[in-house]
Structure 1
Amino acid sequence: MRVLMAMMVAVLLAGCAGSTMDDARARTPNKTLSSAKADQLVAQCVQFAWQDEAVFGVDAAAYLQPGKGGGYTVYTRAAESFADIKIEPSGTTIHYYAVEDNAVSKRRLAALATCL
């Protein structure tokens, strides 16, 4: 029963986050970064970095899912911040989006930058 409830919450959360992400993708990313590392390694690192409770406190949730058109998307609760991570011929490209430009979104960008 608990597993079923957890799955339902995850589906609902992904649905809400999806529209927020689509709206954000319609504009220019807050930051575009690149890496020589594989997209999967960067995505896993970002997810792990965003889950650091010492940095983000109780809001240290980060989720990893396949990205639209390939690659990966790492996002926070309600997609307040998210990163689209995709392999390109020149290397891995990371598009970082944040709903608000505040201290938390800047810490998330800094944590992401440690994964490059």
Structure 2
Amino acid sequence: MRILMVALAGVLLAGCAGSTMKQARSQTPYKTLSSNKPDLVVAQCVQFAWQDEAVFGVDASGYLQPGEAGGFTVYTRSAESFIDVQGGALKYYAIQDNWVAKRRLAALATCL
């Protein structure tokens, strides 16, 4: 029963995040970066950095999934911030331009 509840919560979270990400992708990214490292290495590093409770407190979250057109996407709860990593190009999207978005950008910059 507990496993079923966790699976259901994951599906609901992915559904909500998907529509938010689709809308954000129709606009210009908050920041575009590049890296010479393999996409998976960068994505895993960003995921780990965004899960740092010492930096983000209760907002610490980072989920990794395959990208729609290849590569990887790392996103936070409700997809308030997310990054698409594909072919060395990193597109960072933030729903709000606030200190959390800037802090997440600084954390992901350490993974380049």
- TM-score, normalising length: structure 1: 0.95
Cα RMSD, aligned residues only = 0.5
Residue 113 in structure 1 maps to residue 112 in structure 2: no
Report how far residue 98 of structure 1 moved.
0.2
Identity in percent: 71
Report how far residue 61 of structure 1 moved.
1.2
Residue 95 in structure 1 maps to residue 68 in structure 2: no
Hey, which bits of structure 1, 4+ residues long, moved more than 4 A?
none
Cα distance in structure 2, aligned partners of 1:83 and 1:40:
12
Report how far residue 97 of structure 1 moved.
0.1
Cα distance in structure 2, aligned partners of 1:20 and 1:37:
28
Letter in 2 for 1:24: A
Cα distance in structure 2, aligned partners of 1:96 and 1:69:
16
Report how far residue 95 of structure 1 moved.
0.1
Cα distance in structure 2, aligned partners of 1:4 and 1:50:
27
Residue 76 of structure 2 aligns with which residue?
76
Residue 41 of structure 1 aligns with which residue?
41
Q: Deviations over 1:12-71 (max 9, x none)?
A: 000000010000000010100000000000000000000000000011111000001000
Cα distance in structure 2, aligned partners of 1:52 and 1:11:
24
Q: How many residues align?
A: 112
Report how far residue 4 of structure 1 moved.
1.2
Letter in 1 for 2:110: T
Cα distance in structure 2, aligned partners of 1:61 and 1:112:
13
Letter in 2 for 1:98: A
Structure 1 gap ranges (5+): none
Report how far residue 2 of structure 1 moved.
1.3
Letter in 2 for 1:6: V
- TM-score, normalising length: structure 2: 0.99
Cα distance in structure 2, aligned partners of 1:104 and 1:84:
18
